[in-house]
Structure 1
Amino acid sequence: MEGPSRVPVSCLAVKHGADSDKPALFSISDGTAIHNNGGADIPGLTNDNAWVTPQGWILVRSESDAATFLQNPQDPDDKIHLPHLPHSLSSHCMCVISGKPRRGDCVVLLVEPDDDDDARFLWYCLLGGEDWARHEYDIGTQPDIRPGKEGLREKVPICNIAACRGKFYFNGTTETVGELEFTPTPMFSSIAIADPLPGGYGVLGVAKVFLVESDGELYMQWHGVEEIDGRAFLLASGFGASRPADSELRH
Structure 2
Amino acid sequence: MELPAPMPVTLPLPLPCLVVDHDGAGGEPCTTLLDVSKGEHQHQYHACDGDAHALLRNRRRWMTPHGWVLSCDPSTLATFLWSPQTTEKIDLPPLTPGQEIPLHSSCSLSGKPTAAGFTVVAVEPEKTAVWYCHVGGNASDRPGWVRYEYDVGSVTFPVVNDRRIQGKKFITRLTAVGGKFYFFKSHDELGVLEFSPAPLHSSVPVRAVERPPGTTCMAPSFVELGGELYLASAFLHYDSGGATSVLGCGVYKLDLAGKRWCKVSDIGDRAFLMCPLYFSGCCSATASGLRPNCVYWMGLCDDDLLRVFDIDRNEGTHGVHDPCKDISGANRNAVWMLPSDEP
| Shorter-chain TM band | 0.7 to 0.9
Which amino acid in 1 is paired with 2:18? A
Q: Which of 83, 94, 97 is the matching residue for 1:84?
A: 94
TM-score by length of 1: 0.80
Following superposition, the deviation at residue 39 of structure 1 comes to 7.2
- Provide the C-alpha distance between the structure 1 equivalents of 2:159 and 2:124, rounded to a whole number of angstroms: 19
1:235 aligns with 2:274: yes
- Contact 2:192 2:201 (C-alpha < 8 Å) held by counterparts: yes
- Provide the C-alpha distance between the structure 2 equivalents of 1:23 and 1:181, rounded to a whole number of angstroms: 34
- Contact 1:214 1:242 (C-alpha < 8 Å) held by counterparts: yes
Query: After superposition, where does 1:23-172 map in structure 2 within 5 Å?
Result: 23-29=31-37, 40-43=52-55, 45-47=57-59, 49-74=60-85, 77-86=87-96, 87-114=99-126, 120-128=128-136, 129-145=142-158, 150-172=163-185
Secondary structure of 2:164's match? Answer: coil
Deviation string 1:163-214 (CA, Å, 9 cap, x unpaired) is 1111100011222210111000111011222x42257xxxx96311111111
- Provide the C-alpha distance between the structure 1 equivalents of 2:147 and 2:124, rounded to a whole number of angstroms: 10
Q: Percent identity?
A: 31
Higher strand fraction (1 or 2):
2
- Provide the C-alpha distance between the structure 1 equivalents of 2:4 and 2:89, rounded to a whole number of angstroms: 11
The two structures, once aligned, show a CA RMSD in angstroms of 3.3
Which amino acid in 1 is paired with 2:110? S
Secondary structure of 1:207's match? Answer: strand
State the number of aligned residues: 238
- Contact 2:55 2:71 (C-alpha < 8 Å) held by counterparts: no
Q: Which of 224, 232, 238 is the matching residue for 1:213?
A: 224
2:318 is matched with none
1:188 is matched with 201
Deviation string 1:208-227 (CA, Å, 9 cap, x unpaired) is 11111112111112436543
- Provide the C-alpha distance between the structure 1 equivalents of 2:100 and 2:208, rounded to a whole number of angstroms: 38
Structure with larger Rg = 2
TM-score by length of 2: 0.60
Following superposition, the deviation at residue 40 of structure 1 comes to 2.8
RCO greater where, 1 or 2, for CA within 8 Å and sep 6 or more? 2
Gaps of 5+ in 1: none
* CA spacing shift, 1:38–1:124, aligned 2, 3 Å: farther
Gaps of 5+ in 2: 39-43, 137-141, 234-249, 252-263, 289-338
